[in-house]
Amino acid sequence: MRRYAYAVPYWLWIALFVIAPIILIVYYSFFDIEGRFSLVNYETFFTPVYLRMTVNSFWYAFLITACSLLIAYPTAYLLTKTKHKQLWLLLIILPTWVNLLLKAYAFLGLFGTYGAVNALLEAIGIGTKQLLFTDFSFVFVSVYIFIPFMILPIFNALEKLNHSLIDAARDLGASEWTTFRRVIFPLTLDGVKAGCQAVFIPSLSLFMLTRLIAGNRVITLGTAVEQHFLVTQNWGMGATIAVFLMIAMAGIMAITGNKKWGVRQ
């Protein structure tokens, strides 16, 4: 019985901070702005405005994930080959300890009209450009923020990879590229999936960056949730969008779920 006693705090936590909020969100989603029980929020969600917003969210989340992966995989691969792995890894993890807002404000300074980047562009003769409040800067900053979460699982997967498998592939006639394509990548796919989950799911509901960096030019589901709860006070609609976000996340988890290769010996 002692064993169950130790689990009590855990279950309390889960009940209070996971299960109860989900039930509350689902409950709120069935009330319209007047506080009457109705399904009007769900009808509204399937109007073009919200559907476009959904597509937008997925598109940006996809862009951010794809860019992160493209940068993170080679980085992680090079990391496993360097001498002072742990030091480099620490340098990559370090920015995640800084608050997201602080990083966003830092980019406001860097990308601003009189910021460092524009000063550099001016100096090399390209001239001042509008950097802030563009799609580009939104994706760029998001990728910057999420990249450590992509690098870590891939790095771990590469580290775990048995090096004699690479020797074996080379021994059987595979070129470096074929070895990567047929052995290294398939065997680190679990790390890639974990990284994609860690980036795609949070970027689906990003809201702070959309305002600070993208200047509300990018409106995602996350922004809409924030607006409904804090500005229009339409909690029902905000909760409904949150329900759909949760369904989407569950779906992504299911798709990228880990399939184990059995016992490695």
Residues that bind other proteins (CB under 8 A): 162, 164-165, 167-175, 178, 182-183, 186-187, 261-265
Give the nearest distance from C-beta 81 to other proteins in angstroms. Answer: 15
CB of 85 to other proteins, least distance (A): 18
The pair of structure tokens assigned to 156 is: 């771990």
CB of 200 vs other proteins, minimal distance in Å: 24
Residue type, 176: E
- Which residue lies nearer to other proteins by CB, 162 or 216? 162
- Give the three-state DSSP class for 49: helix
* Structure token pair of residue 110: 């860097």
Coil/strand/helix, residue 37 = strand
Per the DSSP assignment, residues forming a β-bridge with 31 are: 37
Alpha carbon distance 215, 249 (integer Å):
26
Which CA distances in Å does 15 have to 12, 20, 108?
A: 5, 6, 39
Using the minimum distance from each CB to other proteins, give the nearer residue, 2 or 264.
Answer: 264
In the complex with other proteins, the residue whose CB is nearer, 157 or 199, is: 157
Q: Which is nearer to other proteins, 17 or 185 (CB)?
A: 185
Residue 237 Cβ, how far from other proteins at the closest point, in Å? 46
Q: How many CA atoms lie within 13 A of 152 on its CB side?
A: 14
CB atoms inside a 10 Å sphere around CB 54 = 20
Least gap, CB of 76 to other proteins (angstroms): 19
Between 158 and 243, name the residue whose CB sits nearer to other proteins. 158
Maximum distance among all alpha carbons in the chain? 74
Nearest distance from residue 80's CB to other proteins, in Å? 17
CB of 89 to other proteins, least distance (A): 24
The C-alpha atoms of residue 130 and residue 215 are separated, in whole angstroms, by: 12
Cα separations in angstroms, 245 against 101, 198, 203, 206, 241? 23, 15, 11, 11, 6
How far apart are the C-alpha atoms of 221 and 54, rounded to whole Å?
A: 6
Decide whether 186 or 215 has the Cβ nearer to other proteins.
Answer: 186
- List the helix and strand counts (H, then E) for the chain: 15, 0
- For the chain, how big is the Rg over CA atoms in Å? 23
Residue closer to other proteins (CB basis): 186 or 251: 186
